[in-house]
C-alpha cells in the first residue's frame, strides 16, 4: 500500500525548548504512560463499553460502492 500524501513517517516531540526555557519536565515515560493508560481503560469500562456495543466488528472507514 502506498503511503498517503503528507503523512509523516515518524512522530516525535522535541521537548528541548520546553525543558530549557520553561523548566518543564515530562512526568511519564512511555512505559509508565502506557501502563497508566491501560489501567484507566480497565477501570473505566463505562466509557468504552457503549462504544463497543455499537460496533459489530465490521471494518470502519470504507466507502460503500455507488449503486448504478
**What tens digit of pLDDT does each residue of 6-63 get?**
777 777 788 899 999 999 999 999 999 999 999 999 999 999 999 888 887 777 776 6
Yes or no: say if 27 and 33 are a contact pair by the CB < 8 Å rule: no
Q: In which domain, by residue range, is 47 found?
A: 28-54
Residue 42 belongs to a domain = yes
Residue 60 lies inside a defined structural domain of this protein: no
- pTM of the predicted protein model: 0.57
Cα-Cα-Cα-Cα torsion 45, 54, 37, 13, nearest 10 degrees, comes to -160
Structural domain count, the chain: 1
Amino acid at each position: 500500500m502506498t503511503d498517503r500524501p503528507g503523512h509523516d513517517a515518524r512522530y516525535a516531540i522535541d521537548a528541548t525548548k520546553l525543558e530549557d526555557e520553561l523548566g518543564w519536565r515530562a512526568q511519564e515515560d512511555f512505559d509508565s504512560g502506557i501502563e497508566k493508560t491501560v489501567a484507566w481503560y480497565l477501570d473505566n469500562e463505562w466509557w468504552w463499553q457503549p462504544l463497543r456495543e455499537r460496533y459489530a466488528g465490521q471494518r470502519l472507514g470504507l466507502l460503500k460502492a455507488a449503486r448504478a
